[in-house]
């Protein structure tokens, strides 16, 4: 990933840039996982002219993969917004999936300590 002169790194170690939504792959989370109330909250924010916080995407040199911001993307699409700000970090879909799997394992271990280990599913 190329950082242009004057472009600063974001918190995830890459540039923040405006991306067309149709260039971002949404493979990481199925649409049925969206929470309608959350999407509607973002729709209302957009209709009031508010800016949404940047998405978090991975870039493998060819494709952008949405890591965080699925509700914001759904709201933007409903409002006819075609571009959103995104914090871009180098990485692949496979790396995102592996990190998420590791996160779930840690979460299950913590919940098990509290007697709630069977509440988080894959």
Same domain, 96 and 121: yes
Query: What is the pLDDT, as a whole number, of residue 8?
Result: 55
Q: Over the stretch 50-75, which tens digit does the pLDDT of each residue have? A: 999 999 999 999 999 999 999 999 99
In terms of domains, do 96 and 86 share one? no
Same domain, 21 and 67: yes
Residues 38 and 58 in one domain: yes
- Structural domains of the chain, count: 2
What residue numbers bound the domain in which 80 lies? Answer: 1-91
3-state SS class at 5: coil
Q: What is the pTM of this model?
A: 0.75
Question: In terms of domains, do 84 and 110 share one?
Answer: no
Residue 106 sits in the same domain as residue 80? no
Helix 36-47, helix 70-78: angle, nearest 10: 50
Same domain, 83 and 23: yes
Q: How many CB atoms lie within 10 A of CB 67?
A: 23
When the pLDDT of each residue in the chain is averaged and rounded to a whole number, the result is 85
- CATH at residue 37: 3.90.1530.10
pLDDT value of position 66: 94
Same domain, 81 and 104: no
Residue 93: the pLDDT is: 86
Report the side by side order of strands in the sheet with 83-90: 16-20, 83-90, 55-59, 64-68, 24-25
Q: What is d(CA 118, CA 122) in angstroms, rounded to the nearest whole number?
A: 11
């Amino acid at each position: 990933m190329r950082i242009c002169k004057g472009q600063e790194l974001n918190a995830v170690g890459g540039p923040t840039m405006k991306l067309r939504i149709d260039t971002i792959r949404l493979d990481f989370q199925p649409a049925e996982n969206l929470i309608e109330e959350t999407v509607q909250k973002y729709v209302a924010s957009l209709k009031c002219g508010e800016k949404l916080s940047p998405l978090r995407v991975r870039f493998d040199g060819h494709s952008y993969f949405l890591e965080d911001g699925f509700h914001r993307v759904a709201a933007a699409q409903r409002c006819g917004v075609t571009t959103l700000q995104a914090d871009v970090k180098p990485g692949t879909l496979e790396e995102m999936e592996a990190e998420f799997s590791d996160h779930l394992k840690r979460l299950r271990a913590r919940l098990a300590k509290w007697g709630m280990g069977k509440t988080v599913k894959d």
